[in-house]
Structure 1
Amino acid sequence: MTNTASPPPQREPNLQPDEIDLREVILSLWARRWLIAILTVMGALIGLALSLHSTRHVAQTVLLAPGMDVTTYRRYEIALQDRGNFEGFLDRQQQSSDAIGRLRDLAPQSLGAWIRPRFSLTEQEARAMGIRPDGNRDMLGFNLRIESRDAGAAQLIPVLSEYVRDTVTRVDIASSASASCTQARSALGELAAAQLEVQSQREQLAARADRLRALLAQADTLRPSVTSAFVPTPEETVMSRLIETEIDIADSELDIAAQTRQTQLEDLRASYYCTLQTLSAQAPSATALIEQAGDLIDQTKSNDSVEQDPLLKQLYGTLAAEYDLWRIAHQRTTNIGSPSEAEDSKSRRPTLSVAAGVGAFGGMFIGFFLTLVLGWWGRTAS
Structure 2
Amino acid sequence: MQNTQPHAQPYDDEIDLRQLVAVLWRQKVMITAIGILGAAIGVGASISSTKHVAEGLFITPGVSASNYKRYESVFSNGARLQQYLQSTNQATTHDGALLVKLADEPNGLTNALKPEFAFTDRDSKAFGVKVEDAAGAMIGVRIQVAHTAPTGGTPVTLLAEYVRDSIIRVDMESTMLSQCNSFRTREQELRNAQIQNDFAIRQEESRLANLRDIIARNPEASSIDNRQIVSVERGTERFLSPAAQLVASEIQIGELKLAEVLRERDRIASGLKRDYYCQAQQALQQPTTGRAFLDGTQNIQAAAFQGQDKSIDVVEQTWNELDVERANWTNTYLQSMRFVASPEGTELKQRKPGLALGIVLGGMLGGMLGIMIALIRAWWRSGFEAANANNTKA
TM over 0.5: yes
Q: Secondary structure at the match of 1:305?
A: coil
The one-letter code sitting in structure 2 at the alignment partner of 1:284 is T
Equivalent residue, structure 2, for 1:134: none
For 2:166 and 2:144, the matched residues in 1 are separated by: 17
CA deviations on 1:297-331 (whole Å, 9 max, x unpaired) are 3344453334432x444333222112112223413
Residue 296 of structure 1: how far off its partner (Å): 2.7
Q: Name which of structure 1's ranges 240-249 and 269-278 shifts more when overlaid on structure 2.
A: 240-249
Q: Secondary structure at the match of 1:121?
A: coil
For 2:135 and 2:224, the matched residues in 1 are separated by: 80
Equivalent residue, structure 2, for 1:177: 176
For 2:182 and 2:363, the matched residues in 1 are separated by: 69
Unpaired runs of 5+ in structure 2?
Answer: 1-8, 125-132, 226-239, 387-394
Equivalent residue, structure 1, for 2:79: 84
Instruction: Give the one of 101, 121, 132 matched to 2:97.
Output: 101
CA deviations on 1:127-165 (whole Å, 9 max, x unpaired) are 96287xxxxxxxx55443221234446443442233234
Change (3 A) 1:308 1:98: closer
Change (3 A) 1:186 1:44: farther
For 1:127 and 1:327, the matched residues in 2 are separated by: 25
Q: Secondary structure at the match of 1:58?
A: strand
Equivalent residue, structure 2, for 1:317: 320
Change (3 A) 1:364 1:196: farther
Equivalent residue, structure 2, for 1:20: 15
The one-letter code sitting in structure 2 at the alignment partner of 1:294 is Q
For 1:216 and 1:237, the matched residues in 2 are separated by: 14
For 2:14 and 2:341, the matched residues in 1 are separated by: 70
Equivalent residue, structure 2, for 1:145: 144
The one-letter code sitting in structure 2 at the alignment partner of 1:259 is R
Instruction: Give the one of 284, 290, 293 matched to 2:294.
Output: 290
CA deviations on 1:12-59 (whole Å, 9 max, x unpaired) are xx9853332222322232233333223222222222222222222333
Matches within 5 A, 1:34-45: 34-45=29-40
Equivalent residue, structure 2, for 1:279: 283
The one-letter code sitting in structure 1 at the alignment partner of 2:136 is M
Unpaired runs of 5+ in structure 1?
Answer: 1-13, 132-139
For 1:230 and 1:241, the matched residues in 2 are separated by: 12
Q: Secondary structure at the match of 1:147?
A: strand
Equivalent residue, structure 2, for 1:364: 367
Are residue 129 (structure 1) and residue 136 (structure 2) matched?
yes
Are residue 59 (structure 1) and residue 45 (structure 2) matched?
no
- Give the TM-score normalised by the residue count of structure 1: 0.70
The one-letter code sitting in structure 2 at the alignment partner of 1:292 is G
Residue 90 of structure 1: how far off its partner (Å): 0.9
Change (3 A) 1:305 1:344: same
Residue 71 of structure 1: how far off its partner (Å): 5.2
For 1:302 and 1:181, the matched residues in 2 are separated by: 18
Change (3 A) 1:237 1:70: closer
- Give the TM-score normalised by the residue count of structure 2: 0.68
Matches within 5 A, 1:183-332: 183-198=182-197, 201=200, 212=210, 251-282=255-286, 284-309=288-313, 311-329=314-332, 330-332=334-336
Equivalent residue, structure 2, for 1:5: none
Change (3 A) 1:338 1:248: closer
The one-letter code sitting in structure 1 at the alignment partner of 2:280 is L
Residue 332 of structure 1: how far off its partner (Å): 4.5
Q: Secondary structure at the match of 2:43?
A: helix
- Is 1:57–1:347's contact at 8 Å kept on the other side of the alignment? yes
- Is 2:117–2:136's contact at 8 Å kept on the other side of the alignment? no
For 1:367 and 1:207, the matched residues in 2 are separated by: 114
RMSD: 4.6
- Is 1:147–1:153's contact at 8 Å kept on the other side of the alignment? no
The one-letter code sitting in structure 2 at the alignment partner of 1:355 is G
For 1:240 and 1:343, the matched residues in 2 are separated by: 83
